[in-house]
């Protein structure tokens, strides 16, 4: 993200609150691409509340003052009442997902707040309080794939067949477990490389076949080579 991007841990477990840009400014000259991470974000910018779905490739955010709550994989669909696959690779106005009057009322409340990010976090906390608890099975799926286990091993560990896991994953994460595993592997590799781990070692530790495999996956999903991403 741009140098004006700031984030902090949310009071909602597993979520992150972030802000980019400043009130009244046009925003960064060129925002850095947001990379696939398996997450769904609730977004605010002046006069709008939106939902940013789980991505399969990088996208560039708009200019201006933005605030967001980023939910860890599998959390947001229960809070928003929308299957994750319906939001994949999209930025959707909340008014298109919820009754217009409710969306307008919430948008006006965040618009009027002295701290839109804090108001957005309060909205997320209220949604979480009204929603059913997240299925522990979904957390187990994410934990298994984050650890680099195969989809087959993950399905076995949670007691689901391949088709059941795929169906549950589409609803909760926005894509099947193979794609989620690939996205999480990308994030593991970025974390390692940004800590200074050599790229060949990063490839091995993150679960890639070799450094060339790492380079191809990064280029395909991030749209630029790993070296450029590490420099950001």
> How many domains, the chain?
2
In a domain, 104, yes or no: yes
Q: Are residues 73 and 91 in the same domain?
A: yes
- The boundaries of the domain holding residue 69 are 6-130
In a domain, 1, yes or no: no
- Which contacts of 121-127 are long-range, i.e. CB under 8 A and separated by 24 or more positions? 121/10, 121/11, 121/12, 121/15, 121/17, 121/69, 123/42, 123/69, 124/10, 124/12, 124/15, 124/42, 124/69, 124/71, 124/79, 125/11, 125/12, 127/79, 127/80
Q: Are residues 39 and 124 in the same domain?
A: yes
Q: Are residues 10 and 87 in the same domain?
A: yes
Percent of the chain predicted with pLDDT > 70:
94
The domain boundary residue, chosen from 82, 106, 130:
130
Q: Are residues 125 and 140 in the same domain?
A: no
pLDDT digits (tens, 9 = 90+) for 22-42: 665 544 444 567 899 999 999
The domain boundary residue, chosen from 69, 103, 130:
130
Q: Are residues 21 and 110 in the same domain?
A: yes
Q: Are residues 149 and 223 in the same domain?
A: yes
| pLDDT exceeds cutoff 90 at 209 | yes
In a domain, 182, yes or no: yes
The pLDDT of residue 5 is 85
pLDDT digits (tens, 9 = 90+) for 93-128: 999 999 999 999 999 999 999 999 999 999 999 999
| pLDDT exceeds cutoff 90 at 1 | no
The pLDDT of residue 28 is 43
């Amino acid at each position: 993200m741009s140098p004006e991007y700031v984030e902090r841990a949310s009071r909602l477990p597993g979520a992150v609150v972030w802000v980019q840009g400043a009130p009244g400014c046009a925003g960064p000259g060129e925002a850095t691409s947001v990379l696939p991470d398996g997450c769904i974000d609730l977004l605010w910018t002046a006069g709008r509340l939106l939902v940013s779905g789980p991505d399969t490739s990088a996208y560039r955010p708009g200019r201006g003052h933005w605030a967001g709550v980023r939910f860890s994989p599998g959390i947001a669909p229960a809070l928003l009442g929308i299957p994750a696959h319906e939001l994949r690779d999209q930025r959707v106005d909340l008014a298109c997902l919820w009754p217009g009057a409710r969306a307008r009322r919430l948008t006006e409340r965040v618009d009027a707040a002295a701290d839109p990010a804090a108001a957005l976090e309060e909205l997320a906390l209220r949604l979480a309080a009204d929603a059913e608890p997240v299925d522990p099975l979904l957390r187990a799926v994410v934990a298994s794939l984050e650890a680099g286990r195969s989809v087959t091993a993950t399905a076995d560990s949670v007691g689901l067949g391949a088709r059941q896991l795929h169906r549950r994953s589409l609803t909760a994460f926005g894509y099947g477990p193979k794609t989620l595993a690939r996205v999480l592997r990308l994030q593991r590799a970025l974390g390692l490389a940004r800590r200074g781990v050599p790229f060949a070692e990063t490839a091995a530790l993150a679960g890639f076949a070799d450094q060339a495999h790492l380079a191809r996956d990064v280029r395909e999903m991030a749209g630029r080579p790993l070296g450029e991403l590490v420099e950001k």
